[in-house]
Amino acid sequence: MSGIFWWVIFPYVTLAIMVVGLLYRYAFRQKSWSAPSTEMFEKKWLRIGSPLFHWGIIFAFAGHIMGMVIPKGVYEFLGITDELYHIGAIYGGGLAGLMVIAGLIILLIRKMTIDRIRVHATFSDFFSVFALLIVSGMGTYMTIIYNTTVVSYEYRTTIGPWFRSLFTLQPEYQLMLDVPFIFQAHVIAAFALFASIPFTRLIHFYSAPVTYPVRAPQQYRSRSQYQKKG
């Protein structure tokens, strides 16, 4: 019964919460959809932490598409061996995970130590950062440490097919029963994180901000400049 709950009921419940929450917020709270900029309060650490986090998330998302959505047979057809795939996953995924964690830590310290930013931070802001740290921390541990010191786990034959089966409405929950606990915990935490997104500022993720990493920084000018001119 626990297997059915975690690998059938729980994913659908969290996805339903996410979809309904997104629709509600779009319909009734559109003004809160975007994440307000805090660049006017502090720029130095934002310019380091924000690109690290956002680029890391983009790379990590691409890595998950490659591992979870694309079947193992596609790589075999293309002549990509298991060894070559796992080397790329460890180095590429490990780098992406470290970028996400480093960016989050910088942004968290910035949020906690700079008074003008801290007073504008909400519970959901801190919740989002800590939730992301938990999910990305487990993922980075699995990629860099577990896969190199314990065993290079082949998630493309278990987690990947299970994940894809959710979208065909024929969840193969049996595939997840013998998956190592750290991988199970990572999956559960990730689904819980997605369910929380409509209730946090992470909702701007769904605006597909693909130009964010290369957009020009916002420019702020103090009022004193205009007062002097007047």
Q: Residue type for 60, please?
A: A
Q: CB–CB of 143/64 below 8 Å? A: no
| Confidence at residue 115, expressed as pLDDT on a 0 to 100 scale | 87
Residue with tokens 């795939």: 85
The answer to whether 189 touches 138, Cβ cutoff 8 Å, is yes
How far is residue 169's CA from residue 106's CA, in Å, rounded to a whole number? Answer: 40
Q: Write phi, then psi, for 153 (nearest 5 degrees).
A: -70, 135
Per-residue confidence (pLDDT) for residue 226, from 0 to 100: 47
pLDDT at 216: 52
Tens of pLDDT along the chain (230 residues)?
688 999 999 999 999 999 999 998 888 877 666 666 777 777 888 999 999 999 999 999 999 999 999 999 999 999 999 999 999 999 999 999 999 999 999 999 999 999 888 888 888 889 999 999 999 999 999 999 999 998 889 999 999 999 999 999 999 999 999 999 999 999 999 999 999 999 888 887 776 554 445 555 555 455 555 455 54
pLDDT in the model for residue 42: 77
Say what the pLDDT of residue 220 is. Answer: 45
- Decide if 208 contacts 38 (C-beta within 8 A): no
Of 72, 68, 80, 97, the closest CA to residue 187 belongs to 68
Mark residue 198 as left, alpha or beta (left: phi above 0; alpha: psi -120 to 50; beta: remaining).
alpha
Global confidence as pTM: 0.84
pLDDT value for 208: 56
pLDDT value of residue 222: 53
